Amino acid sequence: MIELTDEFKKKVLAALAEARERYDGSDAGFAKKYGINKSVYSEIKKGKVDKKINPGKWLELGRSLGVSLNERKWNMARTDVYTMIEEDVVFCKEFSKSMMFVDECAIGKTYSARYLSRTLKNCFYIDATQCRQERSLIRAIAKAVGGELDGTLEEVKESAKYILNILPRPIVIIDEAGALSYSSLLLLHEFWNGTQDCCGWYLMGSDGLRTKLQKGKGTSRKQSYKELFSRFSSKYNHIVPDEPGERELFFRNLIGTVLSVNIKDKHKINKIVNQCLATDSQEAETGLRRAETLLILNEK
């Protein structure tokens, strides 16, 4: 059994306190976001944590708040990918707009989105691979924003919309949006309409999202996809170049930037970057995942 140290618990509590400062809803709503009983959260705020949270819940909170049991920490690097996503998200948040970012895997999209959700006020992250169908997506959005989870699906949905309409400048980031079913994409259309001018929306994905929307516009569902597409600026933002030379330079800079804040021996950076890019083009596309593996191997 994993032993949860007092140090880990302190880090989780500190992260929970920071998360509370970034959420402008009620204590009850905040407790719902993290699946904590309202009265238990009230005790935790007073520093009374003994036997209030079971080990499984400590681990769940740690994962949600980005607190790891491992000593090794992956530091955030301000890459071109992160900068572009940050600029998009901040714009959508400030002006209650919607955009889409569709690009290749393993360039740091998910890491950037999760990081922003833990640093910006009223910024909510949804992993669509965990809630592909309409029912689960409704509950995922409601939980993320601190809405009611009891009652009918319609009541849960309306609760989430209400919160997104009253919070100051909220934004919802839907990651891996290509995993969503057709009915779930229509649900986003409904949420957009129900929170217009009050909430920002940001869809992220890889080729799967682009393919789904493009194919959808050529089917009997054409009008529904067209309307959804128009609400998300009618275009896909992306950053990875198509031209081979520019592409290699992009990955070289991306991997080098991330390694520079995560490696002790800076002399190894070029070696690891070259190892990442010395393979065939398909493997080079694994980008930061391969870089992290090579970093661990080179630090042994």
User: Residue 221 has what pLDDT?
Assistant: 63
What does the pLDDT look like over 249-291, one tens digit per residue? 999 999 999 999 998 888 889 988 988 887 544 444 457 888 8
User: Residue 228 has what pLDDT?
Assistant: 75
Give the span between the Cα atoms of 116 and 108, in whole angstroms.
12
∠ CA 168-121-288, nearest 5°, is: 140
What does the pLDDT look like over 41-97, one tens digit per residue? 999 888 888 888 888 999 999 999 988 877 667 889 999 999 999 999 999 999 999
pLDDT band, very low/low/confident/very high, at 218 (cuts 50, 70, 90): low
Q: Write down the mean pLDDT value for the chain.
A: 88
User: Residue 107 has what pLDDT?
Assistant: 93
What does the pLDDT look like over 24-42, one tens digit per residue? 999 999 999 999 999 999 9
**Highest mean pLDDT: which of 102-106, 164-168, 264-268?**
164-168
User: Residue 222 has what pLDDT?
Assistant: 64
**Is the model's pLDDT at 229 over the cut of 50?**
yes
Mean pLDDT for 209-233 is 71
**Is the model's pLDDT at 210 over the cut of 80?**
no
Sign, Cα dihedral of 241, 262, 86, 13 = positive
User: Residue 235 has what pLDDT?
Assistant: 78
Give the span between the Cα atoms of 288 and 250, in whole angstroms.
12
What does the pLDDT look like over 139-149, one tens digit per residue? 999 999 999 99
